[in-house]
Structure 1
């Protein structure tokens, strides 16, 4: 999933740019779910264009938060792969892909925490997630660690309910197979700091 994440911040001042990041192609973004008979994983196979980020606030550890603008990660629903054509069709239908072909994850703010080092650090983020045309404010706790001086790893997972986004969990075989309401978004991202 190669794409650039640049955010314009107040590290050097309000009109100067902050660091940019490139997400390693080996990074993953998945949606996990289950039914009364099995589990499933839908993997995002989308490649992304560079996306500018803008931020405000003092980007130093301490109290308060970093606020972001224009930080929408847009995901094409029909570029999720659940492993077979039947499951893909059910997934796209449940998420109303024809009516709402895109999902979005928008980073709004991050609560300031400790300096990021080789040990895992947990950061509290505030996001706006849009699925099937319905948006909800969603807090996500992400684990971050520094792999090298120019590389970070970010891991996060967030349980959601499909019904919170107006999605009816799909059924099959005249209702004998029922998809559970609970899904989980999993992210495992390697960020290359470009400066």
Structure 2
């Protein structure tokens, strides 16, 4: 009986040690105040882009020897109307298409990730745009310095995938194409 109690106590102490070590290795990082988020598209007349340099987010990760080994969670949110072009008419049409009166936030919520041998990551997560959520997989490049992790990549999709009608202008003479690309560079520290 004494041996059984000793074995249980040893197992309990090992369990506490593992939880303590894992807990200290896991850290939370906050999205830097100036992310680079850019939507690129085209129309039958010209190319266009919209940029946002404001977003919020958090990264929870396991760090060993100043390197990310596991990402537990990553969320990035931006106000849809923080996206700006150089043309207020384009912005107005884009906000209408994105239904920003009802859906104010564009969000990416990581569900799983895996680090590749070349140092990139595969992120699988849910993008929510204009109230529609889609699971996507992104290949993301990571660069890091001590206590700071930057993720860079792109996501190509069709507006209609998110039930967004491609905007038109001037009584339909200017038509936005369905395909767009989101380029991002976000830094957590």
With the length of structure 1 as denominator, give the TM-score of the two structures. Answer: 0.73
Residues 29 and 44 of structure 1 are in contact (CA less than 8 Å); yes or no, is this contact kept in structure 2? yes
User: The residue matched to 2:48 in structure 1 has which SS?
Assistant: strand
For residues 12-51 of structure 1, give each alpha carbon's deviation from its aligned partner in whole angstroms, at most 9, with x where no partner exists. Answer: 32x5562233444453111111111111111113253xx5
Task: Quote the Cα distance in structure 2 between the aligned partners of 1:164 and 1:11.
Answer: 44
Residues 36 and 51 of structure 2 are in contact (CA less than 8 Å); yes or no, is this contact kept in structure 1? yes
Which of the residues 10, 19, 34 maps onto 2:42? 34
Q: 2:135 maps to what in 1?
A: 137
Q: 1:3 maps to what in 2?
A: none
Structure 2 residue 101 is the aligned partner of structure 1 residue 98: yes
Q: 2:10 maps to what in 1?
A: none
Q: Structure 1 residues 17 and 150, CA, compared in 2 at 3 Å: closer, same or farther?
A: closer
Residues 66 and 109 of structure 1 are in contact (CA less than 8 Å); yes or no, is this contact kept in structure 2? no
Q: 2:184 maps to what in 1?
A: 187
Q: 2:85 maps to what in 1?
A: 82
Give the Å deviation of 1:68: 3.7
Q: Structure 1 residues 54 and 190, CA, compared in 2 at 3 Å: closer, same or farther?
A: closer
Count of aligned pairs? 167
Larger C-alpha radius of gyration, 1 or 2?
2
- Superposition pairs for residues 1-195 of structure 1, below 5 Å? 12-13=21-22, 15-16=23-24, 18-48=26-56, 51-53=57-59, 68-69=72-73, 71-114=74-117, 121-146=119-144, 148-192=145-189
Give the Å deviation of 1:59: 7.3
Task: Quote the Cα distance in structure 2 between the aligned partners of 1:190 and 1:53.
Answer: 10
Higher helix share: 2
With the length of structure 2 as denominator, give the TM-score of the two structures. Answer: 0.75
Unaligned runs of 5+ in 2: 1-18
Task: Quote the Cα distance in structure 2 between the aligned partners of 1:11 and 1:36.
Answer: 59
